[in-house]
Structure formats: C-alpha cells, structure tokens
Amino acid sequence: MLSDVTTEAKKLIAGVDTAGVLLIGKAGRFESVAGTSDLPHRLDELQMKYREGPCVQAALDDLIVRTEDFRSERRWPLYSAAAAELGVLSGLSFKLYTSSQTAGALNLFSFQAHAFDAEAETIGAVLAAHAAAAILASRQSEQLESALSTRDRIGQAKGIIMERYDVDDVAAFDMLRKLSQDSNTRLTEVASRVIETRGK
C-alpha cells in the first residue's frame, strides 16, 4: 500500500522525481520504505548519519516541511549539502499521523529547485492521510494476529492442564494465572512453557 502512495505521488504531483516513506518503528528507530527508486533510501541514510533533515523533522515535529533549494538550505547544513550533491534540489515532507502517534513521513523529492507549490502540498497531504491510514490498518492487523496467537497458546495450555490434571477450563485457567502471578511471568510465557513441556 505504501508503495502505491509513493507511486501515485510521483504521478499526481508535478515536479516529483522520486518519493519514499520514512517510518518510525519500535523503540523510535527509523526505517526507509516504499521508495520509487533507491535515492529516497540513500537520502534517509544521510539523515540518520547526520541526525538532521526534512524527513526526520516532518516525522517528529512539523506537519509539512518544504525545502525550496537544498543548495541554500540552512536548517540542515550537512544533509542539505549531501542531498544537493546527489542532484536533489527540493523536497516536500508530510507527517504521517496514526491516531495518537506519529508513524513517520511521506517524502517527495525533485531534481529542480522550487519544484513544489500549494497544490503539491494539498495533494501530498491527501496522499499522506492515505499512507497513515494504511499504516494504522497494518498495525491493527498485526495486533489482532498477535492477540489471536496469544489466545490460541493460552487455550492450548489450558487443554494440556485439563487433560493432565483432570480439571475443567476455568480451573485450568486459574492454575495458569496463579503460576503467572507466583513466578512474576507473563501469562503467555507460562502458557508457552506448559506447551513446550507437555510430553515431558
């Protein structure tokens, strides 16, 4: 889905030569994805190296960050010089919101200075909203899969305890819960241990 967004950005917004998404992952780590070429990934690597740049600023702070000409940009001197050396002269970055948190930034780049106008910002903001919705849906799907897997492990462990100790499912769950509390271990970990030791 994110690749669709960057591809559409390149088609719909005049001046976009390449596009990508910088995601904020677990533990605040950045991940460069959905590039329409290798260049957005290289630009993101430069931002990580120099700890500055428009994509990071959009991901962490500003809603929209527009750079008219990297050759004269003073906000990120090291990054700007490196971007210009790669032939990238202007950029447009949009914060990606997912409910209560920021997920990253949609980043558009041009080989021309002053490539982006108000219309580019409007279209980019709409595409950024689509990208944020896709990220949110993906994260919710991952959480649901994790919850279902956890439920299945606990159910399997309950079944083993029911068979081994000839108790009903309520008593089996109480035994799991007590083991969890007594050992100060998460319930899912206790369930996994029960499953692993079932034949022993």
Give the CATH number for residue 181: 1.10.10.10
**Same domain (yes/no): 107, 17:** yes
Last residue of a domain, one of 137, 158, 174: 137
Q: Give the length of the chain.
A: 200
- Residue type at 191 in one-letter notation: A
Span 115-142, average pLDDT: 83
**Same domain (yes/no): 59, 125:** yes
- pLDDT tens across 179-198, in order? 888 888 888 888 888 888 87
**Same domain (yes/no): 91, 60:** yes
φ, ψ of residue 68 to 5 degrees: the values are -75, -40
Q: Which helix (H) or strand (E) holds 178?
A: helix 169-183
**Per-residue pLDDT, 12:** 95
Last residue of a domain, one of 137, 157, 179: 137
Span 29-52, average pLDDT: 93
Rounded-to-integer distance, Cα 151 and Cα 24, Å: 28
Q: Is 176 helix (H, G, I), strand (E, B) or coil?
A: helix
31, pLDDT greater than 90: no
**Same domain (yes/no): 88, 7:** yes
The dihedral through the CA atoms of 171, 175, 180, 186 has a sign that is negative
**Same domain (yes/no): 58, 150:** no
- pLDDT tens across 58-105, in order? 888 888 999 999 999 999 999 999 999 999 999 999 998 765 566 889
**Same domain (yes/no): 119, 189:** no
**Same domain (yes/no): 16, 32:** yes
- Count of structural domains within the chain: 2
Last residue of a domain, one of 137, 153, 177: 137
Structural domain range at position 37 = 1-137
Rounded-to-integer distance, Cα 153 and Cα 149, Å: 6
**Same domain (yes/no): 11, 93:** yes
Indicate yes or no: pTM above 0.75.
no
